């Protein structure tokens, strides 16, 4: 077996199952899961009807690079959403469909990390936020690299300080994962921080993997989160050198089971990544591709989706504010809040007394220099319907009182 498999940590939901093991909730009220970020809103009708009309495509092998019509739809969406110049995003060289961001974020590291020729040499580094989406860490381990966890904690507003990462770390780094809007905090990386990141990546020849899968879940009353391609364009970096962004229909369009997303950016990097994926055998079926085109071309359902999340945040924050230090995130659908003690005991007690499941923060983080940035925090995903989110918030308030 690959010895690096032994380096993988248990997944957060494995730990959560162990935490809840043996507990029978005291209430007969229905279980409400706030633990997993799986959207529960209705999928868009335009996507579902397209899927039904495209099933004859199952009779064909799909291309790894996808149908050109899908790549054009993605390029057009990127151009509209991130204010790129018309024709700037080349659908033939700078866009590649993938089976959701989870698959791509993992496989990308396998394709781009160069292992040292000397087996006694230090492993290359993959930089990632802390707390983080655990796929980044597993991708680093299985690529033969070491993770380096840079803090995105309460002290810095849950935002990365790229300039604070030591020079010797940048010198060993080959890849950095960034997540904006962040999971779990929802914090959005600002233009100044991204400019610092781009300068450091240039100086040290480090690839940037920008996970932007929550970019479309924000309050329409404010500004849409900026994307890394948008920042690069503003700086005149129109070749998107060293940049690859990751997007998905799972959160944007309530289609987590479709397993459809894309990567876009540096054409040279994507050419090699396509070569890797051709061997991996992970092409999207024709019905999935046609459904994806319909979803990327429609914004009405996305706006409606945002309206639903705004309603839920408005209601839940009013209920929880008297008992928890909750605040509306910049974007995304998570509440990331400090419960003022051992969050594992909080989650265990909440499940036992109120039949509500939340995720302990330290299941999403690692201890660095004796500090665990997830300790004391709980992640709650407001993905259920409005009535269930209100019910869950009222039960949490009752539990705390």
**Residue 326 pLDDT greater than 90, yes or no:** yes
Kindly state whether residue 47 falls inside one of the protein's structural domains. Answer: no
Kindly state whether residue 194 falls inside one of the protein's structural domains. Answer: yes
Rounded average pLDDT over 243-268:
98
Indicate whether 18 and 124 sit together in one domain: no
Judge if pTM exceeds 0.85: yes
**Residue 228 pLDDT greater than 90, yes or no:** yes
Indicate whether 18 and 140 sit together in one domain: no
> Which of residues 244, 277, 297 is at a domain's end?
297
Model pLDDT for residues 330-363, shown as the tens digit of each residue: 999 999 999 999 999 999 999 999 999 999 999 9
Rounded average pLDDT over 247-269:
98
Structurally, how many domains does the chain consist of? 2
pLDDT of the residue at 281: 86
pLDDT of the residue at 214: 98
Rounded average pLDDT over 283-296:
98
CATH number of the domain enclosing 376: 3.90.1150.10
- What confidence category does residue 117 fall into, taking pLDDT thresholds of 50, 70 and 90? confident
> Which of residues 279, 297, 315 is at a domain's end?
297
Rounded average pLDDT over 269-282:
94
**Residue 269 pLDDT greater than 90, yes or no:** yes
User: Structural domain of residue 23, as residue ranges?
Assistant: 3-42+301-400
pLDDT of the residue at 182: 98
**Residue 118 pLDDT greater than 90, yes or no:** no
> Which of residues 273, 297, 321 is at a domain's end?
297
Share of the chain above pLDDT 90, in %: 96
Average pLDDT over the chain reads: 97
Kindly state whether residue 54 falls inside one of the protein's structural domains. Answer: no
Indicate whether 65 and 155 sit together in one domain: yes
- What confidence category does residue 120 fall into, taking pLDDT thresholds of 50, 70 and 90? confident
Rounded average pLDDT over 42-69:
96
Indicate whether 257 and 393 sit together in one domain: no
pLDDT of the residue at 178: 98
pLDDT of the residue at 119: 83
pLDDT of the residue at 267: 98
| Secondary structure of the chain as H, E, C letters | CCHHHHHCCCCHHHHHHHHHCCCCCCCCCCCEECCCCCCCCCCCHHHHHHHHHCHHHHHCCCCCCCCHHHHHHHHHHHHHHCCCCCCCCCCCCCEEEECCHHHHHHHHHHHHCCCCCCCCCCCCEEEEEECCCCHHHHHHHHCCCEEEEEECCHHHCCCCCHHHCCHHHHHHEEEEEEECCCCCCCCCCCHHHHHHHHHHHHHHCCEEEEECCCCCCECCCCCCCCCHHHHHHHCCCCCCCCEEEEEEHHHHCCCHHHCCEEEEECHHHHHHHHHHHHHHCCCCCHHHHHHHHHHHCCCHHHHHHHHHHHHHHHHHHHHHCCCCCCCCCCECCEEEEECCCCHHHHHHHHHHHHCEECEEHHHHCCCECCECCCCCEEEEECCCCHHHHHHHHHHHHHHHC
CATH number of the domain enclosing 165: 3.40.640.10
Indicate whether 104 and 181 sit together in one domain: yes
Rounded average pLDDT over 271-297:
96
């Amino acid at each position: 077996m690959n010895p690096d498999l032994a380096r993988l940590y248990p997944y957060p939901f494995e730990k959560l199952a162990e935490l809840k093991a043996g507990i029978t909730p005291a209430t007969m009220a229905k279980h409400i899961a706030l633990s997993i970020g799986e959207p529960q809103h209705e999928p868009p009708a335009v996507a579902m009807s397209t899927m039904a009309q495209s099933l004859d495509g199952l009779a064909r092998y799909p291309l790894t690079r996808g149908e050109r019509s899908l790549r054009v739809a993605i390029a057009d969406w990127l151009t509209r959403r991130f204010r790129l110049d018309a024709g700037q995003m080349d659908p033939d060289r700078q866009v590649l469909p993938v089976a959701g961001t989870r698959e791509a974020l993992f496989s990308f590291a396998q394709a781009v990390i160069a292992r040292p020729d000397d087996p006694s040499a230090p492993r290359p580094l993959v930089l990632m936020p802390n707390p983080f989406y655990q796929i980044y860490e597993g991708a680093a381990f299985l690529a033969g690299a070491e993770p380096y966890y840079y803090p995105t904690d309460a002290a810095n507003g849950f935002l990365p300080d790229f300039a604070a990462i030591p020079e010797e770390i940048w010198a060993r780094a080959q890849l950095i994962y960034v997540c904006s809007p962040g999971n779990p905090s929802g914090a959005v990386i600002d233009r100044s921080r991204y400019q610092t990141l781009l300068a450091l990546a240039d100086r040290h020849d480090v690839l940037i993997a920008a996970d932007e899968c929550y970019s479309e879940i924000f309050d329409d009353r404010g500004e849409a989160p900026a994307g890394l391609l948008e920042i690069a364009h503003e700086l005149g970096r129109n070749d998107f050198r060293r940049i690859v962004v990751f997007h998905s229909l799972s959160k944007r369009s309530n289609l987590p089971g479709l397993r459809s997303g894309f990567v876009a950016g540096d054409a040279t990097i994507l050419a090699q990544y396509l070569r890797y994926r051709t061997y991996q055998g992970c092409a999207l079926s024709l019905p999935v591709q046609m459904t994806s085109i319909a979803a990327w071309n429609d914004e009405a359902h996305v706006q409606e989706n945002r309206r639903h999340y705004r309603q839920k945040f408005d209601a839940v924050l009013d209920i929880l504010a008297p008992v928890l230090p909750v605040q509306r995130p910049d974007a995304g659908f998570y509440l990331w809040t400090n419960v003022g003690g051992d969050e594992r005991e909080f989650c265990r007690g909440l499940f036992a007394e109120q039949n509500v499941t939340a995720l302990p923060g330290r299941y999403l983080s690692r201890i660095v220099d004796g500090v665990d940035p997830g300790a004391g925090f709980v992640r709650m995903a407001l993905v259920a319907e409005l009535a269930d989110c209100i019910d869950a918030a009222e039960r949490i308030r009752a539990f705390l009182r």
